[in-house]
Structure 1
Amino acid sequence: MTFRQFAFNNVKRNSRQYLSYFFSCMFSVAVFFIYAVIMFHPEIENYDFRSAVESGITAVEVIIFCFSFLFVLYSTGAFIKSRKKEYGILMTLGISKGQLNRLLILENSIIGLVSIFAGMLVGTLFANLFIMGFSNLLGLESSLGFQISWKAFLLTFVGYFIMFELNSLIVVWTLRINSIVSLFQGARAPKKTPKFSWIFAIIGFGLVIAAYYLAWTADMMNIGLRMMPILGLIIPGTYLLFTQFSVLFIHLLKKNKGLYFKKTNLLTVSELGYKLKDHARLLFFVTILSAVAFTASGVLYGVFESAETEASAYMPQDVSFLSKGEENIEKMDDEVSKFTNRLDQENVDYQSLTIDPVQAKTMVDESEAWVDMISYSDYKSLVELNGEEVTEDLADNEIIVMLAHAELTLSYRVEDELTLESENHQETLQAKVIPSIVNRNYHTNHTVVVSDQVYDDFAAVAEPNELYRYVDITMEDWVANAELTERATETMDREVVSGIDSKANFYLMLKNSLSYALFFGLFISVLFFLAAGSILYFKIYQDLDKDVRQYQALYRIGLTIGEMKKIATQQVAYLFFIPFILAVIHAGFAFKALQNMLESSILLPSVTLISAYLLVYAIYFFFIRGLYISKIKQVM
């Protein structure tokens, strides 16, 4: 048997141990390769979005590669640690340090090459599906062709081969200082009774609660300022929860004698205390990794699904056109007819309303602001056009200030008494605030409603530059006609119609930008999530020899196979689902912060996404539990 055959047989005989590691590496390579296929697709050169796509994918590729490097480095180190006893035996039989290093490099190279080729094969099989999805995402009339550039193969192979080899050299360097005795000791280390600090445990719990409070009460105005403090609290807080509070919790469980001495709970709880303490840093890392995956994908998916509702909240009218000044108002009808003629050609039902606001200025949110005023009669017509009923009465000495959705969220302050002032007229009125029913004005900050008499007084003396014309159009099924609306408004003269706003434009902008983010970010989140599960698997497998000896001792003192399977299942489940549950709670408060800024509910999208992650995690858990228990049963 040659040295290469010896290395190959080592990998083959440890294939079960390397299985999760191999699939995680293969998935990483496949995702990297698919993005590279799209980045180097020859047909993208013909489109204007080429630079934006290349920039986005380049950033994603860097993130995937850097994360893969750290993941492979950790995983390789974990496997080396679990096999130190084997290497000690080889050195006792006469293998030199150089030959051992060569063996390690060969083994890791074999796994790396197989992962690279398998990943590129899987990527090739699914590349066409992703190309069609990406074409649909960009709204291309015809899908990009199924073409894979040789650059994608070269970049993936060279990049990941260098990464695997560099990781091998790093691991070999870390192993060089070990003596034969230390290698024989393997991953074993004498256990000490887990200790904790009441102070640090309480501080950790307090930090997490403080972070939760900041997230729960965040809004659009302060979320930017709170983001870094939340991270600064949640990360050290989570670390202290695992290193201190978890041991305290186990300590309190042991004091509950009725629970602690019930059936096999004594064994489960006692061993869990050691495992939580031994694996605290690992569980902390897995929790943060999973929380990032849940939060990133959940926020993107939640906003993506609520795009229609958010468009309706920020754009009350389906389509609106605005002109300023007498000269533009005279030309406006011809420009609006371009749009309505297109609707008539496509047999789209619609209703329209034309009103003539007048400009003035007043104080809103403690600063001087330009406003456009409409009469109470026009206001009622707008409300009725929207299929609603007027609920506000208005006296001659009153003014209604309409605040947009974002302004209401930010709690804009409006004085009880406002003075409206134009170039030739002035009125002081009693103010009240309602949600806006008109789209934003390109020229002024807010729209106000005054009585017909007050409006006539301002309009009668208004200067030509203080006159506006606002055309509101309500369409049948604006979502289905969103792209038609966008195309029809592109032909209008923007100098004449200075303000063109629609739910369709806002909706498509939100959908397109979030589609890019979802496409670029979702697979990174999945990669993080799968890596978190794989890291747990590596740690469990690394401790397997030690756990087997423990179960052998339990078997000799009389525990049945069924009882040991129950204990093993509980311990593996705790290690798997404690970080998962904590990550879900972390993400839940992040979703609450997002909900505070959105009009629509993101509960269903969030639950759907977390349920999908839970399903994958449960499959992963049962797979690893099966391997773990089968290994224990083999030595009974």
Structure 2
Amino acid sequence: MTFNQIVLKMAKVQYKKYIVYYVCNSFAVMFFFMFLSVYFNDQVVQAKKLEGIQEVLTVPVVALVVFTVFFINYAHTIFIKRRKSEFGLFMTLGMSGRDISKLLLLENGVIALASIISGILSGTIFSRLFFLLLMKSVGLEDIPFHLNAKMFMYSIGIFLAVFSIVVGKSLFLTLNRNLLQSLKSDRVRETIKLRSPLFGAVGLAMMVGSALMLYFTFSEITGGLLLLWTIAILLGLYISLNQFMSFFIEIAKKNKPFYFKRLLSLSSLDYKFKQLTSILMLVTVMIMVTIFYSSLVLTFYQSSEKQAIDNNPYDLAFVQTETKNNLPLDEIYSVIDKKEHPVKEHLMIPTFTYYQYNPNTDWQYSYVFMSVDDFNQLTSSPKSLQNGEYMYYENSEPEYASENNAYAHGLAFPIGNDDLSLKMKESITEKNINLLSNAYEFIIVSHSEFELLKRNLEGFESTIQLFNVANWKETTDAVEELEERLHRYNQSNPPIEDIRTELTSEEDLVRVESKIADYNYNKNTNGIMFFVITFLSVSFFFGTFILLYLNLFSDIDREKEKYRKLYKIGITVKEVKRIISKELITLFFIPIILGTTLAYTYIVVLATDVGGIMKNPELLVHFGLVAGIYLLIQVGYFLYARRKMVNQLTENNF
């Protein structure tokens, strides 16, 4: 019998190993291709409503690549782990290291090729379904599905790069392992070099302490400090997973009845936690990331309308100057004032912008003046001013008000040979105008001084046009038509070439701000993000479950032998089932408890910037919903894994 015949016969007997390994790799290619069908869809990128969507999807892409690296690496590690004794047998029969290398390369080459073909084919089929569901969920059915070369190149390229590195590493380790180690590999447990209860306590304290520091310092935190606390949390998590059972056993020993009743379970869990630390760490982090981002994006998606209303006090707004956006009023009304959405309110707020150079700071200060009479049209609390007084008005929500008011110490402006000195009477922060260019800070003065400043200062007059209609959700076509007409009018006039465009672009100066545009943008962008995060969550969930499942069942023969020996010294089937259940409950649910807790910590920390978690109950509700769904699915997988493990360990074993 030749070597090739021996290899083929062993492959036929152990075909399940190859099938599981192939399915894992095919799974990775398929999910990566499905995601890239959205990321590299030119129609999505070019859609006006989704400008910048590729930047938004960059973080999920990176997360998917990192997950793919871990997933393929662990799938390959488990596959090779089951083959080590076979390689030792081949070597005793005379197969050289070069022959082993050829065998490894041939096997992995065939599996990689088959995985790419099946992964791309299944990805092409399911990506169309995924894309259509995604576009329909965010109201963009007009964007067609198509495939391009980038989707195929990146999917195949990233998979082959990761796969080659992983295979190269295992090839190096296999060839440097001696014959005795290979033959005994399936009868030797992995060496646990460190058992330190003190390290377990330190890891737990590091994780909890870093989370508390993140919460208490978040308001003053910088990007580097946020990264530092996150790294500290993850490091503490890894140490805890690796050494906490040793710490718990040390504590349990102080209660002798408790410890001796659970001695077998505790010892087994201590070994398995140290053996599976990397897997449990990956599962925990993936759970944390998916629950955190799913809760956050779901909240953003559900609050798209609220965001549009908060950002746009008026249904439609734009700035009108002498040469830009200066359409006749009757033409503007012909577009906006329709039967579906008649105009309910229309305000015209004159403003005057003056730029003053300050040689001390080498900066042009921009002053946007508004008459107190016009300001009173915007606010529900009318104000009055005397000559020589002004109010500083910041068009923003109070919680986002700037702390440093550069205009608080009085103002002076050259009027002829004298200066007009103004003293600040009051500072007001409230959102009354859509966020247009030069509509963030205003100097409110009396009507007479507003006219005086316009006559004596060289500046720019403009009018803020504000409209409210009966049904703003029906104004999509009207807003687009108005934007088109304004654009044609602006193109027919010479461009702005003065200090205004030195500080901002002309496009920004003349843009239209509307509730419906903001709403559509938020809904579409957040909708895509929510759908993508849901897709990634499902991918991560299946992937991490498969990895945990494969690791648990890769040593099933050893577990059978262990329980067979325990049976000989008196253990019963009922006790075996109880031990298995306790172990699996711990291994399946410790990661979800830790991941959910860490996700909640980051949500609470993030909520401190918007008034705290109790002032944002929708965030808490969505967190509970996502975590609850995740837990229910995990319970289902736990019941499946427990039933299968109990059957395999007790069937024909006792």
Specify if TM > 0.5: yes
Instruction: Indicate the SS of the match to 1:440.
Output: coil
- Distance, in Å, in 2 between the alignment partners of 1:58 and 1:222 is 24
Asked whether 1:633 is paired with 2:650, we answer yes
Question: For 1:481-496, what aligned pairs fall within 5 Å after superposition?
Answer: 481-482=475-476, 484-492=478-486, 493=489
**Percentage of identical aligned residues:** 23
Asked whether 1:419 is paired with 2:416, we answer no
Provide the residue aligned with 1:382 in structure 2. Answer: 378
Instruction: Indicate the SS of the match to 2:348.
Output: strand
Cα deviations across residues 153-179 of structure 1 (Å, max 9, x unaligned)? Answer: 687568756765664454233111223
Provide the residue aligned with 1:387 in structure 2. Answer: none
Alpha-carbon distance change, 564 to 46 in structure 1, aligned in 2, over 3 angstroms: closer
- Distance, in Å, in 2 between the alignment partners of 1:525 and 1:476 is 40
Asked whether 1:437 is paired with 2:432, we answer yes
Instruction: Indicate the SS of the match to 1:438.
Output: coil
Deviates more, 1:490-499 or 1:583-592: 490-499
Alpha-carbon distance change, 156 to 539 in structure 1, aligned in 2, over 3 angstroms: same
Provide the residue aligned with 2:562 in structure 1. Answer: 550
1:29 deviates by: 1.4
Deviates more, 1:27-36 or 1:410-419: 410-419
Instruction: Indicate the SS of the match to 2:239.
Output: helix
Give yes or no for contact 2:317–2:466 (8 Å, CA) kept in 1: yes
Deviates more, 1:515-524 or 1:533-542: 515-524
Structure 2 unaligned residues grouped into runs of 5+: 497-508
> TM-score, normalised on structure 2?
0.77
- Distance, in Å, in 2 between the alignment partners of 1:566 and 1:105 is 43
Provide the residue aligned with 2:132 in structure 1. Answer: 132
Provide the residue aligned with 1:178 in structure 2. Answer: 177
Deviates more, 1:574-583 or 1:418-427: 418-427
Give yes or no for contact 1:402–1:434 (8 Å, CA) kept in 2: yes
Alpha-carbon distance change, 380 to 167 in structure 1, aligned in 2, over 3 angstroms: same
Partner amino acid for 1:313? Answer: D
Give yes or no for contact 1:400–1:433 (8 Å, CA) kept in 2: yes
Provide the residue aligned with 1:386 in structure 2. Answer: none
Alpha-carbon distance change, 55 to 10 in structure 1, aligned in 2, over 3 angstroms: farther
- Distance, in Å, in 2 between the alignment partners of 1:462 and 1:167 is 72
1:268 deviates by: 2.2
1:564 deviates by: 1.6
Asked whether 1:580 is paired with 2:571, we answer no
Partner amino acid for 1:572? Answer: L
- Distance, in Å, in 2 between the alignment partners of 1:428 and 1:39 is 55
Provide the residue aligned with 2:334 in structure 1. Answer: 341
Give yes or no for contact 1:85–1:183 (8 Å, CA) kept in 2: yes
1:632 deviates by: 0.7
- Distance, in Å, in 2 between the alignment partners of 1:576 and 1:19 is 24
Provide the residue aligned with 1:122 in structure 2. Answer: 122
Instruction: Indicate the SS of the match to 1:129.
Output: helix
- Distance, in Å, in 2 between the alignment partners of 1:593 and 1:240 is 23
Instruction: Indicate the SS of the match to 1:462.
Output: helix
Structure 1 unaligned residues grouped into runs of 5+: 384-389
Count of residue pairs brought into register by the alignment = 616
Give yes or no for contact 1:260–1:266 (8 Å, CA) kept in 2: yes
Provide the residue aligned with 1:534 in structure 2. Answer: 546
Deviates more, 1:236-245 or 1:210-219: 210-219
Cα deviations across residues 255-291 of structure 1 (Å, max 9, x unaligned)? Answer: 3446445xx5333223222322333344234333443
1:126 deviates by: 1.7
Asked whether 1:408 is paired with 2:402, we answer no
> TM-score, normalised on structure 1?
0.79
Partner amino acid for 1:623? Answer: Y
Cα deviations across residues 55-75 of structure 1 (Å, max 9, x unaligned)? Answer: 999998787567535532332
- Distance, in Å, in 2 between the alignment partners of 1:420 and 1:516 is 48
1:190 deviates by: 7.2
Instruction: Indicate the SS of the match to 2:601.
Output: helix
Match for residue 458 of structure 1 among 450, 458, 476:
450
1:480 deviates by: 4.8
Alpha-carbon distance change, 283 to 51 in structure 1, aligned in 2, over 3 angstroms: same
- Distance, in Å, in 2 between the alignment partners of 1:45 and 1:437 is 33
Instruction: Indicate the SS of the match to 2:320.
Output: strand
Partner amino acid for 1:546? Answer: R
Match for residue 619 of structure 2 among 602, 605, 610:
602
Partner amino acid for 1:340? Answer: Y
Cα deviations across residues 321-358 of structure 1 (Å, max 9, x unaligned)? Answer: 2235xx459x8461x55443223346213322223345
Provide the residue aligned with 1:276 in structure 2. Answer: 273
Instruction: Indicate the SS of the match to 1:321.
Output: strand
Partner amino acid for 2:262? Answer: N
1:633 deviates by: 1.4
Deviates more, 1:512-521 or 1:166-175: 512-521
Deviates more, 1:397-406 or 1:625-634: 397-406
Alpha-carbon distance change, 604 to 179 in structure 1, aligned in 2, over 3 angstroms: same
Cα deviations across residues 442-481 of structure 1 (Å, max 9, x unaligned)? Answer: 235413556xxx3444335533736442222123343453
Instruction: Indicate the SS of the match to 1:132.
Output: helix
- Distance, in Å, in 2 between the alignment partners of 1:45 and 1:195 is 52
Cα deviations across residues 487-524 of structure 1 (Å, max 9, x unaligned)? Answer: 43242145797353223333344445545656766645
Deviates more, 1:63-72 or 1:602-611: 63-72
Asked whether 1:559 is paired with 2:575, we answer no
The CA RMSD measured in Å over matched residues stands at 4.5
Give yes or no for contact 1:403–1:434 (8 Å, CA) kept in 2: yes
